[in-house]
Amino acid sequence: MVYEPREDSWLLERVVRERARGRVIDVGCGTGILARAAGDALAVDIDPQAVEHARSTGVDAHVSDLFSEVSGTFDTIISNTPYLPSDPRAPDVALDGGTKGYEWILRFLEQAKKHLARDGHILFLISTQTNPSVIEQWLTKNCFVYDICARERVFFEELLVYDARFALPDIQEATYLASGKRSKVYRHGNHVIKLAQTRRIEQEAHMLQAVNKLGLGPKYYAHTPHRLIMEYIAGERIDTFLAQGGDSKRVFAEVLRQCRLLDEAHINKKEMTNPYKHILISDERVVMIDWERAKKTTRPQNVAQFREYIKKHTSLAERVYAVVKRIPEGRVATYKEIGRRINSNAYQAIGQALKRNPDPNSIPCHRVIRSDRTLGGYFGGEQAKKKRLLKDEGVLFDAQGRVRKECLLTQST
């Protein structure tokens, strides 16, 4: 018997009219109502009567058990799925979703992903009777992102329309970003793909979903045993942002707020004493990334650890200025030597501190040069001016224009 349109058909029909695009197929077409709503769509059904009926209304319909007689990929795949548990007393192929009501849907999705265009989507309807959590778990494990784009309560159930998109980009088309000891990270559009061992992926995926509930971290999309798909965050690392004179007050306040949320949730991120790789900053957002080492604990230390970082950061510039003030006329020091004397390898931050020199008359930043003995940048502008100042103070240069070694401050001087 052909399934006549009802509330579920009409709800999905409205969504199809709004969202169907490109090459479209309606799987389990029944009367063909959804195929007609999509416009020029292919339609299939296992029931020859349904196919004959759909054809009589002008639909390009064919007999097929799901995708068994279908080839190629589609931009939009539609299905008003049968979602009721099997009833042996009154079998009906249009309603029978399997023993538990969701077996047909899972079989449909498993085949649909093989026929879905890379940027395509699947529009399908289920009921709260179907156990939506089973369907959503399948989508997540198979790297789909989805939203429930329409819903309607009908008597004892709620009808749900899902719009699911394949979120696993082709790694060959992704841009390499970075490598860790046990992982590689790529970017594909607005997604980040992290490749790592199964245990680490599972751990970070679980933690990322937990902190997303707190409004923290990049958005989790999906994961497989060896891949984690999450939101790409554009921004500067915190050390670079601060070294360039960024608004430290705003950033510190926001990170401390996030740290308090983590402490209250008993989650310890672990890297907050030196989070230079783990916090990204843009004009709009401050985002903590890299959650693979985060763990649940009864004594989280996020706020305490980040306060230690703040102390180190705010004191670095003053320590740099104190060392530079002690460089005598006729001598120079490298950025590396400055770092050694203040016990820091944050050479970029040292350079930026000198760039923001508050008093060039008492802090002779022109006496700081690169490790290769070339001059590098200068607070006052041109390198020629820096060289002239150093020459006037008695600094000697070799034939290549580099400072001579005997003018360098070293560990022993």
Q: Note the CATH architecture for domain 326-407.
A: Orthogonal Bundle (1.10)
Percent of the chain with pLDDT over 70: 91
To the question of domain 236-310 being in CATH 1.10.510.10, the answer is: yes
Would you say the CATH fold of 326-407 matches that of 236-310? no
Q: Where are the domains of the chain?
A: 7-166, 171-231, 236-310, 326-407
Question: pTM score, two decimals?
Answer: 0.50
Residue at token pair 């580099």: 402
Residue at token pair 């042996």: 88
Active site residue 365: yes
Q: What is the pLDDT of residue 44?
A: 96
Q: Angle formed by the axes of helices 347-355 and 335-342, to 10°?
A: 100
Average of pLDDT values for 231-235? 92
Residue 285 pLDDT more than 90? yes
- Residue 188, H or E segment: strand 183-188
CATH match for 171-231 among 3.40.50.620, 3.30.420.40, 3.30.200.20, 3.30.930.10: 3.30.200.20
Largest CA distance in the chain: 103
Q: What is the DSSP string of 352-391?
A: HHHHT-S-TTTS-GGGEE-TTS-----TTS-HHHHHHHHH
Average of pLDDT values for 273-300? 92
Exactly one of 143, 259, 365, 407 is catalytic; name it: 365
305-362 pLDDT, tens digit per residue, is 999 988 877 777 888 888 999 999 999 999 999 998 888 888 888 888 888 787 888 8
Q: How confident is the model at residue 28 (pLDDT cuts 50, 70, 90)?
A: very high
SS3 labels along 1-50: CCCCCCHHHHHHHHHHHHHCCCCEEEECCCCCHHHHHHCCEEEEECCHHH
CATH superfamily, domain 7-166, is Vaccinia Virus protein VP39 (3.40.50.150)
97-106 pLDDT, tens digit per residue, is 566 778 889 9
